[in-house]
Chain A
């Protein structure tokens, strides 16, 4: 018995020693010397050093990049799992444990050696909308995180999690999240000044008073889209080919830039506010004859046009996000001008009106909601939402072949594998180029915010993160395959308000918009973007 136990201990020790030799910084290496708890939007996740498709696109703070094998690096990625090690994901809690020093974090103190080498634990929480993160910092709400490499009870496991066409690699699976932890800083899809008003605040929670956030920085522009179900895209495409809005050379199903259908900003406001509850509202003149959109589609179905089908009903179906979800907040501020116009601001439609309004409470839920309305599947129907948001309809509710619209990051569905497609707004594609030209309006300035109650090293780390994250080169490196659509490069764009000169004409290698919402020196999500006078040039196109 004793011998057996000794052997087991010896084997475990050898294994740990082996891991320690190859994996230079393990949980056993000691407690973190610098810890950042950062809840909120995933918009700036690559800058923390997380891996996407086996690589680290950008890395602001760690001395090394993590690797899928975990070997040859001092940086490792930790994911939370509610079951077995292989089931870990970054949906709720994740972290990076790495070494850093004052070459990465200017002003860093303590640690060891001439450069103050320090063990850094960055604990991220995606769970909840942008509002949840801001509420944690602005109002002091305590949340749950992976507390540290030891308390999180982690085991070495190299895994890869697949989500919406991308894979996310991790090196440790952790089973324990700890409640009651104060946030260091929060990331949000939009700057914190606009998280007020009914639609932008979680029901039951207070508004965000941005003036209480001592440090708030817009890091870059996040290009957000208004996806429609695939069959609705085809319907719009066919109707706009028929009435001459799209080139006659386009065919239904064509995914090229020239053939992407468009809706105007005013029409989007009408749809999302519930003022257009039926697709029959749209009239199309074809060959001098006025018809409704469903009638035009019916004609196409009769004519045997591939890709078209008559909808189950003509109601407008909306997969809206929960109150306070950052990308929806961006739509509200940039397109609906809500709550920016006060009592003149339109509100988002809610259940109980004329449109079919449903709550999809994550990026994945949006994808599934649109998929179910398109195909009649049950990826989202029959599931449940977190309180107080109403649940999706039951699986028994007839659905499928219905025309739905939503809000989604353009970092999804670049491969056109999901049953939805992005559309143009006012004829402009959701690309960096169209944002640069001032044509595409739906851009959220993603941000990081914190109070002055953080310690000196935390403050230094966050400032280093801001400086690195907002670099045009950092943002250009993020615009990879995840957001490279058949119609162009979407994703992110750098801000000239951060002191980066925009190119005189569009340059995807230096994606800086000449437009700014920070004329007064502070981010203002309600501001209509204007040409930044600090640089004084804009491409005329």
Chain B
């Protein structure tokens, strides 16, 4: 029952993602447990980091999409429109720019298969090595800490914004004397030794690089500290279109015949409604 309900949420979330994908901008939900410092106990949001190393400035934005909703809709190619702050910042930057994307989703607990982190990794880089669940927990903490750092400075740059007001989607530009600056406790490796987390764009004659997306997560069930974490490489890649101020997810998954899916979905919903009507809307839990 829980699975059916969860799947329903994911479908709904996927539809919402497609509908609202271009409205990114918020205090980033760090995806941690409510009992953690600054944790919300709900799905973590994805965020983009871009770095102008030569000028020592960086830009970040809450993409306004949760890890869970993105995973649910990963088969669809999507775009996030970046804000005017990005346009203004990008117009002043030097070449090249480095970017990465991440999101944490540890609030569900280690025994849930949705416990994990979504992290970019440069397209074409070597396959990542395996890690134990205890290490995955520390990766989640690192992504969470980055979200916290961004929220703190977003607060400072966006007036009355609260760093726990998650419906707000905010961006920021920082310099290297600020804790949330790209290369302070984050960087191209996303604070994980050996992780090739970033791509370089606008790099002279060199073609723009892209990043793949890995969801590193719990296998679910009764996991122990030494249980290997699961590395899911999502079918697709992220590209940063600086000129048009867009972050693009290009899915390489087999296209889903949308009309068929819609009809299947609607017929399923009708069947559920019919069953519920016959049973007087009672439901077994």
Contact = CB atoms under 8 A, between A and B. Distances in A.
Interface in B19-77: 32-33, 35-39
A247 to B, nearest CB: 33
B36 to A, nearest CB: 5
Contact of B192 (A274, A343, A389): A343
B193 interface: yes
A30 interface: no
B179 A196 contact: yes
A100 to B, nearest CB: 38
A274 B33 contact: no
A206 B138 contact: no
A193 interface: no
B179 A352 contact: no
A351 interface: yes
A535 interface: no
Nearest to A207: B179
B38 A203 contact: yes
A180 interface: no
Contacts of B187: 343
Please report whether the interface of chain A is mostly helix, strand, loop or mixed according to DSSP: loop
B37 A323 contact: yes
A64 interface: no
Kindly name the residue among A203, A278, A389 whose own CB sees the greatest number of chain B CB atoms within 10 A. Answer: A203
A352 B137 contact: yes
Contacts of B193: 343-344
B152 interface: yes
A109 interface: no
B238 to A, nearest CB: 22
A273 interface: yes
A149 interface: no
A205 interface: yes
Contacts of B36: 350-352, 390
Given A275-B225, A388-B37, A353 B178 contact: no
Given A350-B141, A353-B110, A388-B38, A197 B185 contact: yes
Interface string A3-30: 0000000000000000000000000000
A353 B148 CA distance: 18
B137 A354 contact: yes
Closest 5 CB pairs of A and B: A353-B137, A198-B145, A390-B35, A354-B225, A352-B33
Interface of A: 196-198, 201, 203-207, 209, 273-278, 323, 339, 343-344, 346-347, 349-354, 359, 388-391
Given A206-B178, A277-B134, 4 more contacts: A206-B179, A347-B142, A349-B137, A353-B110
24 contacts: A197-B185, A201-B179, A204-B148, A204-B152, A209-B177, A274-B138, A275-B138, A275-B225, A276-B225, A278-B225, A343-B192, A346-B138, A347-B141, A349-B137, A350-B137, A350-B141, A351-B36, A352-B33, A352-B109, A352-B140, A353-B138, A354-B133, A354-B225, A390-B37
